[in-house]
Amino acid sequence: MKLEGKVAIVTGAASGMGKAIAELYAKEGAKVVIADMNLEGAEAVAKGISENGGTAKAVQVNVAKQEDIDSMIDTALNEYDTLDILVNNAGIMDSFEPVADISDEKWDRIFEVNTKGVMRAMRRAIPIFLEKGKGVIVNTASTGGLNGAHAGVAYGASKHAVVGLTKNTGYMYAKEGIRCNAIAPGGVATNIASSAGNFNEFGASRLQPVQGIIPRIGQPEEIAQVALFLASDESSFVNGTVITADAGWTAAF
């Protein structure tokens, strides 16, 4: 097993990519903290893992709240005595608003979840990793964190910031045994669009040409395989970078 004896936290793990990552990590031997705002969904994932012989603990977490981040990290320490892998997967969408149409309220809400929540979790985990002399962080960025035509301005900017967080952290702690990488998924079959609300007509129309050349929609399990690689020793020489997983979509431009 590639993660035998490891302890992992996965945020946004009640569904979609987070669920697939948590289930695969558990299958590969990790003890997993299933973190999500949807406690019922998180508990269902944890129950499924346990029924399949794995070890998991569900915890309700709003990554926009520092106290919830602290509780999440403390759960891993209290339940499993340590933390080896942090997967910052939780995220929300905008409604494809361009900069002229974005409100302060929506901008702040998206950055609180997509960027500040990632930073806060990393900030709490790094001292644990420094004490251990090792640790792995896997962030879910997006092709929208690499390009300008995959979402609205707030989502795109928030994911560009995650890429910056990832690269800076990977470099800063490279000599301390800590690796930090990100995955940039393309279109994946998840329920993230449910967080978007009514789409901005102008923004959506501008994105249509780019979305029209997506080769195919990915499955959460395909992203989980990339997350497994980044969490395992097989990627020991991979640090401070972003792996794009989009079936070749962004190779076109």
Beta bridge partners, 183, equal 140, 243
User: Distance between CA atoms of 32 and 62, rounded to whole angstroms?
Assistant: 18
User: Distance between CA atoms of 181 and 242, rounded to whole angstroms?
Assistant: 6
Which residue is catalytic, options 25, 80, 155, 173? 155
User: Distance between CA atoms of 51 and 70, rounded to whole angstroms?
Assistant: 28
- Give the other-Cβ count within 10 Å of 1's Cβ: 12
Beta bridge partners, 31, equal 7, 55
Q: Tell me, what amino acid is at 223?
A: I
Phi, psi of 59, deg, nearest 5: -145, 140
CA nearest 114: which of 11, 186, 227, 229?
11
State in Å, rounded, how far the first CA of the chain is from the last one. Answer: 38
Q: Is 25 tagged catalytic?
A: no
DSSP state of 170: H
- Joined tokens for residue 86: 């942090």
Catalytic positions are: 155
